[in-house]
């Protein structure tokens, strides 16, 4: 797992936990992704193959982020979506790795989810490329 350097997002979000509380709540890999902007290996998430109806929620705080009908196979190796739920995510400019990208964060806990790119399908033209470790899937019942 790639572990970029940088401060974890921790200010200005409604859900606030101490670093120790995050460490207890999350697996070590989830902690690195959500709190320290790490990236899981491409193709490693079982959520890449999830096709059931349901919702994808933040693994950190449980906020609903994406509906399953917005998921698509982008071929990038990470779960991809063309639209987030209204108010579910926040974005900020990411200057890591000698490039400029748009980082996607959970709007409630500030957890790092992945990045969004302007090369997705209609109707939005966006590709939310998310770390599977940052997500939990809740099947429709």
- 113 token code pair: 């989810």
Alpha-carbon distances, residue 61 vs 34, 46, 65, 77, 103 (angstroms): 10, 20, 11, 24, 18
Catalytic residue, candidates 58, 106, 109, 129 = 129
Pairing of strands 54-58, 89-94: unpaired
All residues at 6 or more sequence positions from 10 whose CB lies less than 8 Å from its CB, including other chains? 16, 35, 110
129 an active-site residue?
Answer: yes
List residues with catalytic annotation: 129
């Amino acid at each position: 797992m790639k572990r970029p350097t940088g401060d974890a997002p921790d200010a200005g979000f409604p859900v606030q936990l101490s670093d120790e509380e995050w460490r207890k709540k999350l697996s070590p890999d989830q902690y690195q992704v959500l709190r320290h902007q790490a990236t899981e290996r491409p193709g490693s998430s079982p959520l890449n193959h999830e096709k059931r109806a349901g919702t994808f929620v933040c693994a950190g705080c449980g906020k609903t982020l994406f509906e399953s009908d917005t998921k698509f196979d982008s071929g990038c190796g990470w779960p991809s979506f063309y639209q987030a739920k209204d108010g579910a995510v926040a974005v900020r400019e990411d200057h890591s790795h000698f490039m400029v990208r748009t980082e996607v964060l959970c709007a409630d806990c500030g957890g790092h989810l992945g990045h969004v790119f302007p090369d997705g399908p209609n109707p939005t033209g966006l590709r939310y490329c998310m770390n599977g470790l940052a997500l939990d899937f809740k099947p429709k019942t």
